[in-house]
Amino acid sequence: MLKIGDFSRIGQVSIRMLRHYDQIGLLKPDLIDESTGYRSYSIDQLPRLNRIIFLKDMGFSLIEVSHLVDEHLSLDKMKAMMIKRKQDLLLEINEAHLNLNSVSERLNAIENESKLPDYDIVIKRSEGLVIASLRSIVPNLKDMASYCASMYGNLYKTLGELKINPSGPELTLYYNQEYSEENLDMEVAVGLKADERELILLRKSDLKLRELPSEETVASLLYSGPFEGMELAIVELLKWIALNGWEINGELRELHLMGKAHPEETCVPKAVIEFQMPIRKSDNKA
């Protein structure tokens, strides 16, 4: 028999917690001295204690643990549960990183509120062009990079099978009319100068062939840096539009001037992007 202190050391659980397990009936001592009240445990109780600790670390409540521990979980089932818990923790870590990045970006925005933007924004005409494109709904903002890589990959794959070479830059268009982190409506495209044969092939493919109309007036911002930083550049563009008596009159266009944004399905470390937002003079007299 083991004194409660010795059992505590072997099982790496505090005496206080062992007493709590006793009180709720989760792990009762093998023997309680009636005259002194001292608790004694058996070495044979260690497997049950280890399962209790394992299930508790997996995130189960003590009530749930009390039911599960009596099922005499096999090692294979415990291993499967641990693998599942590992996957859940990795997702939580990823979510935490995304939240940390969001907080950092919000902090940067607050710190830069009184500073002049580092971007040159000009008003210009945007020429129309023929594009081949794919349009999709991205379920969540955190999936944007992987969706973009996959969509551009499918776009180039189809063009390659048709033996058609793009003649213009990559172009991403965003259709949501408000800020959203879910159900993001976007279109990826490349410019084309296709002959009649190629146009016929494209119309029979899964790609959308259309003419992107010219825009007489767009606010244009040139961004150079990592993809992670382009959101702040877009915010600066939108602020400039609002502060200078303009309003949005179309979808945001993202032109990749550096070439392919996702070679081998990974983002290039440094992007060179022109953001174009169609605008018109604001009617707001306030």
> Residue 259 above 90 pLDDT?
no
- What is the model's pLDDT at position 109? 65
> Residue 286 above 60 pLDDT?
no
pLDDT above 70 as % of the chain: 92
C-alpha distances out from residue 53 to 21, 63, 103, 125, 213, Å: 11, 13, 34, 66, 64
- Which tens digits make up the pLDDT trace of 80-109? 877 887 888 888 898 888 788 778 767 776
Residue 47 near residue 73, CB atoms below 8 Å: no
Min mean pLDDT across 50-54, 122-126, 127-131, 247-251 is at 50-54
Residue 254 near residue 271, CB atoms below 8 Å: no
User: How would residue 73 be classed by pLDDT, with cut points 50, 70 and 90?
Assistant: low
- What is the model's pLDDT at position 218? 96
User: How would residue 264 be classed by pLDDT, with cut points 50, 70 and 90?
Assistant: low
- The span from the CA of 103 to the CA of 57, in Å, is 29
Residue 201 near residue 164, CB atoms below 8 Å: yes
- What is the model's pLDDT at position 181? 84
